Amino acid sequence: MRLATWNINGIKARLHNVLAWLEKDSPDFACLQEIKSEDDSLPRLEIEALGYHIETHGQKGFNGVALLSKSPIEDVTRGLPGDDSDTQARYIEGVVSTETGAVRLGGLYLPNGNPVDTEKYPYKLAWMARLKAHAAERLKLEEPFVLAGDYNVIPTETDVHDPEAWRDDALFKPETRAAYWGLMSLGFTDAIAATAPEPHAYTFWDFQGGAWPKNHGIRIDHLLLSPEAANRLSTAGISMELRSWEKPSDHVPVWVDLDV
């Protein structure tokens, strides 16, 4: 079973790429971030024509997350618990059935947090605290659970082309990385780090400054596996070639294969 995550940076602007990716890589269960579309204006018919079920938590113009699956999606949760006043569409979760049981996928678009001297950075850290609390509850279910998406977190210095250039950025600040490793300490496994440990494997290249041809990237899109999912880990990878497609997103898909 292939699970994948991709920040598509606008589903309407990049629908052709999304459809081409679904036909090429054929993920069984996937999450998308930054769909930048309200639920009722999403181009569902084109995606459903490829055999996918869709669940969305949309928002006009920015944010927005979605789940796509070849099987019906059950037990859908929209929004990250812990703050009823938070209206940003950044989290969606669902379950699909397999021959050996259920697989749960949480798709997230973690706040960027910049500029760090504004309210955006405390919001990022508070969101990460809520995510950890929610993940801890989900782990009690003892089922294959994949927490995937655009984390806007650079975990280590080998996940960025120039650590010094990012030292004071919200994606790389010590407080951010500490919150990320606090989440990992619950018992998650980073699918990419576990299967492709070579350094400088990136998932994002800025549109500016020739970042893509220079390979000046960062790794901020992650698939974290619960112990039950990690026990079924076969392989994982980064679909870097999509960054060269016409009208690409600044992110590329990241995927993991589980034996379920």
Spot the catalytic one: 28, 52, 91, 150: 150
Q: Is 109 a catalytic residue?
A: yes
Spot the catalytic one: 109, 121, 151, 202: 109
Please provide the DSSP assignment of the chain as one string: -EEEEEE-S-TTTTHHHHHHHHHHH--SEEEEE---S-GGGS-HHHHHTTT-EEEEE--SSS--EEEEESS--EEEEES-TT-TT-----EEEEEEEETTEEEEEEEEE-----STTSTHHHHHHHHHHHHHHHHHHHHTT-S-EEEEEE-----SGGGBS-GGGGTTSTTTSHHHHHHHHHHHTTT-EEHHHHH---S---SEE-SSTTHHHHT-EE--EEEEE-HHHHTTEEEEEE-GGGGGSSS--SB--EEEEE--
Do residues 1 and 98 touch, judged by C-beta distance below 8 A?
Answer: yes
Taking CA atoms, 54 is separated from 72, 103, 167, in Å, by: 9, 16, 38
- Tokens standing for residue 101: 């049981």
Do residues 181 and 141 touch, judged by C-beta distance below 8 A?
Answer: no
- Tokens standing for residue 120: 């955006």
Which residues are tagged catalytic? 109, 150
